[in-house]
C-alpha cells in the first residue's frame, strides 16, 4: 500500500528543522538494514525523539513504525497522523496488545522504533530498560539496532518550556551495529547487552557535541555527572 502521509510529514519536519537552523551530526546510519524486520532502539530525552530517531533510517529508505503511548493517538491532530503513518499505540494497562501489533509489523518486514526506558529521562542519562524490545527481537528473530540521541532535550523536554527559536542547536545521532539475539540468550541478558551498547553510543554523542552552555544558568540540559544542573538519576526517579 502506498505511503500517502509519512513522506509529506518527513518533508514538513525537514523544512521545520531548516527553519530552526538545527545542525545535525549523524553517524552510523549504514547500520539500519536495507530490508527485513528490525527494532530501532533509542534513548529518550525529549518529546520529539521519535522524529529525530526516524531520521536515522532515511538513508536506508526505511520508514519506522514507532511504539508510542496511546494518548497520542487520541489527540484530534496527532491521532489521525499517527495512525496513517502506521505507528503502534501502547496502552500500558494492556501492553500485550501493543506487543502483538509490533510483532506483526516485524514479521511483515517493518522497522519498529522502541524507547526501552518507556518515559523521558529527566536526568538525561539512561534509565533502567524494559525487556520488551529484547523479547520482540527474540520472538521475531530480528536484529536490535541501538542508537543514541543528544541535544534534542534542548528543544522540548519534560519540566522545561519548548524552545523552537532559531537557536542553531546541534543534534547528535549515533547508530550502532545491529545486535543479534543469541540462540539461548535470556531477555534480561540481551537487554543488558543492549543498554551497554547504547551507553557507549550516548557517551560518543556527548563527547562530540559542540554546544556548550554560554551562561551558568543554561546548564539545565547537562547531566549532573557532566557538571550540569539536571537532576541526578536518583533525584529524577524520586520526581
- The tens digit of pLDDT for each residue in 88-103 reads 999 977 789 999 999 9
C-alpha span between 205 and 200 (Å, rounded): 9
C-alpha span between 212 and 222 (Å, rounded): 9
C-alpha span between 148 and 175 (Å, rounded): 7
The pLDDT value recorded for residue 1 is 59
The pLDDT value recorded for residue 89 is 96
CATH topology of domain 28-238: Glycerol-3-phosphate (1)-acyltransferase (3.40.1130)
Quick one: average pLDDT of 221-237?
96
Q: 192 versus 214: which is more confidently predicted?
A: 192
- Whether the pLDDT of residue 64 is over 90: the answer is yes
- Whether the pLDDT of residue 18 is over 70: the answer is yes
* Nearest of 54, 45, 63, 62 to residue 26 by alpha carbon: 54
Q: What pTM does this model have? A: 0.95
Burial 193-232 (b: 16+ CB within 10 A, else e): bbbebbeebbebbbeeeebeeeeeeebbbbbbeeebebbe
- The answer for residues whose C-beta is within 8 angstroms of residue 119's C-beta and 6 or more apart is 44, 127
Instruction: Specify the DSSP element, H or E, that contains 74.
Output: helix 70-74
Amino acid at each position: 500500500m502506498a505511503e500517502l502521509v509519512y513522506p509529506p510529514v518527513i518533508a514538513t519536519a525537514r523544512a521545520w528543522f531548516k527553519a530552526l537552523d538545527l545542525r545535525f551530526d549523524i553517524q552510523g546510519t549504514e547500520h539500519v538494514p536495507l530490508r527485513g524486520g528490525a527494532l530501532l532502539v533509542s534513548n529518550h530525552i525529549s518529546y520529539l525523539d521519535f522524529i529525530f530517531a526516524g531520521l536515522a533510517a532515511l538513508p536506508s529508505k526505511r520508514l519506522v513504525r514507532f511504539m508510542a503511548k496511546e494518548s497520542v493517538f487520541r489527540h484530534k491532530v496527532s491521532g489521525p497522523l499517527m495512525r496513517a503513518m502506521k505507528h503502534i499505540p501502547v496502552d500500558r494497562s494492556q501492553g500485550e496488545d501493543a506487543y502483538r501489533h509490533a510483532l506483526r509489523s516485524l514479521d511483515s518486514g517493518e522497522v519498529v522504533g522502541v524507547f526501552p526506558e518507556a518515559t523521558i529521562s529527566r536526568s538525561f542519562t539512561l534509565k533502567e530498560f524494559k525487556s520488551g524490545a529484547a523479547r520482540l527481537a527474540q520472538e521475531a528473530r530480528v536484529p536490535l539496532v541501538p542508537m543514541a540521541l543528544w541535544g534534542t532535550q534542548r528543544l522540548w523536554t519534560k519540566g522545561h518550556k519548548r524552545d523552537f527559536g532559531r537557536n542553531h542547536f546541534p543534534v547528535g545521532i549515533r547508530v550502532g551495529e545491529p545486535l543479534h539475539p543469541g540462540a539461548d540468550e535470556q531477555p534480561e541478558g540481551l537487554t543488558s547487552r543492549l543498554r551497554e551498547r547504547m551507553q557507549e553510543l550516548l557517551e560518543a554523542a556527548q563527547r562530540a557535541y559542540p554546544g556548550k552552555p554560554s551562561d551558568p544558568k543554561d546548564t539545565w540540559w547537562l547531566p549532573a555527572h557532566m557538571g550540569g544542573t539536571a537532576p541526578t538519576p536518583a533525584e529524577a526517579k524520586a520526581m
